[in-house]
Structure 1
């Protein structure tokens, strides 16, 4: 799957998902240092270089490591983000390759989020 085939969602789309979906699985792929400075509420920190390994874990191992239930490959709302979009797109591409058919990238990333949220 080519990089340009990645579905991106907007800030408004992400806010709507956060408000209405119990099934949103939001993954922050930034470094620990970046996450320590601020994060989108409800996001799970899985650094970009560990996304393939994390999504390949069995569900029990995933829950033990990340404290949340691993999404199913056909989960409708699996969204990745980073600071500005590039690493999020890379992680989304990895997820798609692993069969997470609805993986999306929040291209605005934490930079856009924190600006719009006044953080």
Structure 2
């Protein structure tokens, strides 16, 4: 997939979705060590090197492993993020390849989030 296809979401848009959307599925693709230092509320931790396998799982297996319902391929608000933005973009591309047509990357990533949220 071309990287130009990757849709991005801004801090403001993500903040709005966190406040009002029941459909938001936010995936933190950082390492466990990074997540342990802080995370965006409501995010699901799926490390980058396991994203393709995770989103290829059958829904029952996904729920058993991650404790949440696997989003459908047409999930309207599937957002990936990492610490600086690059890994989130890679994960978004992997999701597209698996058929997740609305996947987006929070390009500001956790670094921007923590700065704006005062973490």
Q: Common fold, TM-score beyond 0.5?
A: yes
Partner of 2:109: 109
Moved over 2 A (4+): none
Q: 1:7 is matched with which residue?
A: 7
* In structure 1, C-alpha distance between the alignment counterparts of 2:4 and 2:13, rounded to whole Å: 19
CA RMSD of aligned residues (A): 0.4
SS of residue in 2 equivalent to 1:96: helix
Q: Alpha-carbon deviation of 1:3?
A: 1.0
Q: Which residue of 2 aligns with 1:31?
A: 31
Q: How far apart, in 2, do the equivalents of 1:4 and 1:75 lie?
A: 20
Determine helix, strand or coil for the equivalent of 1:16. Answer: helix
CA shift digits 1:60-112 (9 cap, x unpaired) = 00000000000000010000000010000000000000000000000000000
Q: Give the count of matched residue pairs.
A: 119
Alignment match, 2:56: 56
Q: Which residue of the partner structure matches residue 20 of structure 1?
A: 20
Partner of 1:90: 90
Deviation, 1:5, is: 1.2
Tell me the distance in 1 between the aligned counterparts of 2:63 and 2:5: 30
Secondary structure, counterpart of 2:41 in structure 1? coil
Structure 2 unmatched ranges of 5 or more: none
In structure 2, what is the Cα distance between the partners aligned to 1:57 and 1:5? 24
TM-score (norm 2): 0.99
> Which TM-score applies when normalising by structure 1?
0.99
Deviation digits for residues 29-63 of structure 1, max 9, x if unmatched? 00000000000000000000100000000000000
Question: Once the 2 structures are TM-superposed, how far is the Cα of residue 20 of structure 1 from its aligned partner?
Answer: 1.2
